[in-house]
Structure 1
Amino acid sequence: MYLKELTELDGVSGNERLVREFISEKIKDKVDDMKTDVLGNLIAFKKGTKGKRKIVLAAHMDEVGFMITNIEDDGTLSFAPVGGVETQVMPGKVVRVNGKIFGAIGYKAIHLQEKDQILKPPSIDQLRIYIGAKSKEEASKLVKIGDYVSFTTAYSEENNRAVGKAFDDRAGCSVLMEIAQMNERYEDDLYFAFVVQEEVGLRGSAVVVEQIHPDIAIVIEGTTAGDDPELPEYQWATHLGDGPAITFMHRGYVVNKRVYESIVAVAQKHSIPHQAKRRTAGGTDAARFARTGAGTAAGVVSVPSRYIHSPVSMIDLNDYSNTVLLIRKILEEGEAFAR
């Protein structure tokens, strides 16, 4: 399991290099071939014992974050979100610019806010990043426009729950790494696609499809947990502790029925705890796999993550380990899977 190392790396969309290098170093001796394409996707390959089909396991390396858009006269930094980050979670958070310059996201103190400001989230143009610089000249020696900004949350575990940033989708990356490092070979040719820029439009997966032309793709994700404060149960998407979530539909894609039912059947056959993702908001690389080129039969298995796309997310470690187990059993089914 590589959750700690992966989540503590900075890898905002378009800047996944550190994540890619870490993954590559850990799995290079366990796969038959590995390459990085022009867009930055890392694709590893294990030859199957029969090799009649190509199966892709995919997880995205990128996380939501920010980019610097301006250096102000007072030395503060204006910024824009990269991916879906709500302004409610930004004020007061410690961030890291270019992996080395620490700062804090600042907003007007509550004592100075009007009543209507207190009751609504700030707009992005009301927020600044403070890095300790006293002038534009001083700040310009440290950062520049276009620099990446990441949250800095340290990974921790307590009571079989893990807390950290970027479980969407470093949890999926860790699952793929565990599968890749196992000594088993399966009937199907197996590709591990660690893709880029999912959070800004499912970009990396389209390039993967064009290179591999897979028969089946299974996307391993970190997905929204619904057991949040004040959210009624009928609106829950998933629940921490109930096992990996299996998606039947989400934004932009109705999951291939044959693949969806086959994933569920494998979970039932091996008594693996699982749940349906009951809310259909959000999208994954499965939609891009299905709609690119001639199309790929694609499914989604996810680790539920509470407070997703925020500086601090939470997963259940049993959900994670059962996701690894479910993917293993799917691969062991060989040609029987999704026939």
Structure 2
Amino acid sequence: MKKILILFLIFLPLNGACYCQVSSCDSLYKRIPVVRYSPKDFLAIVNDAFIHSPEYLDICIKAKDTLFVQYRFGKSHVYRRKFFDINKIDTQLFFSEDSLFIVSIKNEAFGYPELPIYSIYGVKKCGGYLYGLTWGKRELYSFSDLLKTRYGSIDKFREIYLNDVRDNLSLMGDEYNGIALYPNDKRGMQSFLEKDYVIYERYNPTDTVGVLNRFVSLVSTYTLLKEKQKDLLENKIIERVRYNHTMNIEKKEIKHYIPSEIILYGADVTVLLSNVLTESQYEVVYSALQNCNSYRRDAIFGLHLFRSPKNIWDDGDYATSYEDRLKETANNLLNHVK
């Protein structure tokens, strides 16, 4: 009896370890890599994804429930089967196919990492790869035929892909690109604000030529302006500002929480940009100016040149609005720049 008890005590932790291991394996049914298309060494990227993929979809089964856990940009998001049913995504593919991977041709969910990218999948077959659509009839194609089926033609795919690359380049300050368009150090922030047209407008509002030159110069850094375009843009901005002033239209302030507004002397000049620039020029410039709006706010709060209360009993005349912070930053910064 004593020997039986000793054997029972020895095997008890082993049985417990095995149970935990099996339970853990059962919860993770399958891991499917997500591969982002690249025109260079795409097949090598696919091969590497089966070894290690920074993005993937985990299929987890617990009791009677199935969870799809998407891992993107260092964050995870859980989807249940109902989501895939509503969006007509054939999840049976994920269970029935081996050596399956998801393909992201472009960043369909730019700025929204919680959105799915399940449109195209690939499978390893016959020593190579074939591709299909998650809402299709499970037909498999070569990569070029898949692009024709998905986009209509190779030329249309090329157009969509190049536009996506261009848009991403114009938004390189976005946190999900991993590249900053502007430096985060305080010297870089100071340099940016010293040249900024909004800061200069708050510092010297009577120098309309100086403000306008700074704005047009900034636009010119993102697209090549023809001489006639430059003249027309300047004239339209001057007309709009004068009209607003003459009609006593309420002056708009720069709102740090509305980066979509491109404001000059209280007038929204976004429409003027679209009237003068070509469609491709406007898309690049508008995205870049939105980025400037966001970075301006970050730089103002980063440098902290505006006055803030020392404590709750300090009832001095300190900056309370973003507009006040703009003015105080402009005065404190540009008074030292000669």
Q: Judge same fold: TM > 0.5, yes or no.
A: no
Tell me the TM-score normalized by structure 1.
0.21
When Rg is computed on C-alpha atoms for both structures, the one with the higher figure is 2
- Structure having the larger proportion of residues in helix: 2
Between 1 and 2, higher relative CO (CA 8 Å, sep ≥ 6) is seen in: 1
Query: Greater strand share, 1 or 2?
Result: 1
